[in-house]
Chain A
Amino acid sequence: MNAVRPVPPKRGPPRPKYWNEPVMSGWENAYIFEVARGLFITGRIFTRNMLRWISGGKGALTTYYPEETRADYAPANRGKHILVQRADGTPQCIACNLCATVCPAKVIEIEAAFNPDNPEHPKYPARFEIDYSRCIFCGLCVEACPEDAIRMLKEVPNLPSLTRVDMWLKKEELLAWNPANDGAKR
């Protein structure tokens, strides 16, 4: 009664194929020659890298992390923070707390103080600390700053440490970072 009818071939254009059929020649199917080729490739790379190591160079692409830092960070990379200084060396920060407010990770702590000797900028940060164990390097603090007092360098803060206390950076360290060749500090 209900005989199984053959499925009619589908109409329309043939379905596109998104993969390549494995096309292997007899040479490749013999396997042993391809094995020899693979061994030759890995052996060649081994020899090349060994020669580099022996001749005093570096035969690897890896960077030893705490000992070496990569030189090829992008110029737009959001790395460590710096506090911009005025010509007299005081921080440009006016302790408005906007960066601390906008910070999604809540890593910035600012304690404002009053300086009666400077009528132009009477408010300054007595304490400016960043907790790098929690910082997510989003750059919102830089966006929020009305005085252009905080910026980010392309270099990352190299703070490998076994304690979290070591990852808090104080105002002095944020001011003293990379003072010589830092374009941001003019």
Chain B
Amino acid sequence: MIQDFVITFLLIGYAVSVLLTFGTILTWVERKQAAVMSDRIGANRAYVRIPFTQVKLIWLGLFHGMADGLKMMLKEDFRPKTYDALGYALGPWVTFVPVLLVFAVIPFGGTLDPGRLIPALAGWFDGRTYTLQIARLDAGLLVIFAFGGITIIGAMLSGWSSNNKFSLLGALRAGSQMISYEVVMALTILGLILIWGTVDLGEIVRLQSGRVFHFLPAWGIVLQPFAAILFLVAAIAENKRIPFDLPEAESELIAGYYTEYSAMKMGLFMFAEFIEIAIVGALFTTLFLGGYNPPWMDDGGFALGGGPIGLPHWMMVPVQLGTFLVKVLVVCSFQILVRWSLPRFRYDQLLAFAWKFMFPLALANLGVTAAVLWLMER
């Protein structure tokens, strides 16, 4: 019992530190990638000087994230005169906490056998194994959508309680946009659920280590390429990033629903947004890119040609953890590429795109998937 507690505690620590690190690193990645894409150098002036020396550590501008955090903590904590001080104070947290909670059901590694990893503790663990996932829920995907829904409340709450018309407009836009795209997002996933017959994310990842036509990995992107594109688009819209950043469109609404927030409260919104990039990356990886497994590999080991070539357990765990992080980073990088390539939609275009373009396509995808599955079963 106490062993389970220790392992779960370690997993939570790992997940939270990974998310916070991603939130910080992605600010740097976003700056640098945008700079490299547009023939610039990017932020590289913040440095840390080693005390009592003249050695300045620049590290390609990695310390700009630190400078950002410091600035947000030292700024004045401005509070507007509002009739709903409680809602105003709750807003950032209602946005930020569900984003962290979503990660609880995402598997970020295969099976962990602590007894085999550390032989000294083999007796204590007594052959227990754990999946590298904080909460092994059968309803994994449903939980993700439930928590994603809470984020909408956070955006609406902060916009409504700020007592500012820009905030209110931003909140209205955020509400209608996020609800619309959440419908599309759920519909695109339904095809995958039909194929795999489960919403347990760990099970979905294990099923993806199979084969299609004997050589292609049975990743979601291979089985449902159409759904993958739709899901990514809907997820970017759900995350309110360019080209769907209408809720905070700087040129129209100052900062949208968090106009009235300053200092670390605004920092929480930004942080939540950057972590959400990583969450979208993790979700896309889990559903469409085979999760923590490299191609042609499962918990047993590599299995491309003949039988599986096993890896020792102490290598298997880091390989799977690392694969997951690399895949997430690639998807994050793609999102940043989209953000710096495309112009923003007009608002009516945005909703029309959701309901008149993506919604029918998602429905068609679902229908075709159902028909093909039905034909294959007969």
Secondary structure type dominating chain A contacts: helix
Which residue of chain B is the closest to A32 with respect to CB atoms?
Answer: B229
The listed residue (A35, A38, A59) touching B39 by CB distance below 8 A is A59
Whether a CB of chain A sits under 8 angstroms from the CB of B90 is no
With a cutoff of 8 Å between Cβ atoms, the chain B residues found around residue A97 in the complex are: none
Which range contains the number of B residues in contact with the other chain?
10 to 19
Find chain A residues with CB under 8 A from B342 CB.
35, 38-39
A18 and B143 CA atoms in complex are apart in Å by 56
Interface flag for B121 (CB, 8 Å): no
Q: Is A60 an interface residue (CB 8 A)?
A: yes
User: Would A50 and B337 be within 8 Å (CB), given that A35-B342, A62-B41, A64-B41 are in contact?
Assistant: no
Known: A38-B341, A39-B341. A53 touches B40 (CB 8 A): no
User: Which of A35, A38, A60 contacts B35 (CB under 8 A)?
Assistant: A60
Which residues of chain B are near A45, meaning CB under 8 Å? 37-39
Interface: A71 (CB within 8 A): no
- Chain B: CB-nearest residue to A42: B341
Residue in B36, B39, B340, B342 whose Cβ sees the most chain A Cβ within 10 Å: B36
Knowing A39-B337, A43-B337, the reply to whether A50 touches B36 (Cβ < 8 A) is: yes
Chain B residues contacting A180 (CB-CB under 8 Å) are none
Judge whether A49 is part of the interface by a CB distance below 8 angstroms: yes
For the complex, give the distance between the alpha carbons of A148 and B40 in Å.
Answer: 42
Given A38-B342, A39-B341, A46-B39 contact (CB < 8 Å): no
User: Is B319 located at the chain interface by the 8 A CB criterion?
Assistant: no
B321 within 8 A of A: no
B95 contacts the other chain (Cβ, under 8 Å)?
Answer: no
Q: How far is the CA of A35 from the CA of B244 in the complex (A)?
A: 14
Q: Check if A49 sits within 8 Å of B36, measured CB to CB.
A: yes
Closest residue on chain B to residue A50 by CB atoms: B36
A61 near B341 with CB under 8 A, answer: no
Q: Select from chain A the residue with minimum beta-carbon distance to B37.
A: A46
B26-73 residues at the A interface, CB under 8 angstroms = 33, 35-41
Q: Does B40 contact A42, Cβ atoms closer than 8 Å? A: no
Between A and B, 22 residue pairs with Cβ closer than 8 Å are A38-B341, A38-B342, A39-B342, A41-B341, A42-B37, A42-B337, A42-B340, A42-B341, A43-B337, A45-B37, A45-B38, A46-B33, A46-B337, A49-B36, A49-B39, A53-B36, A59-B36, A59-B39, A60-B39, A61-B39, A62-B40, A62-B41
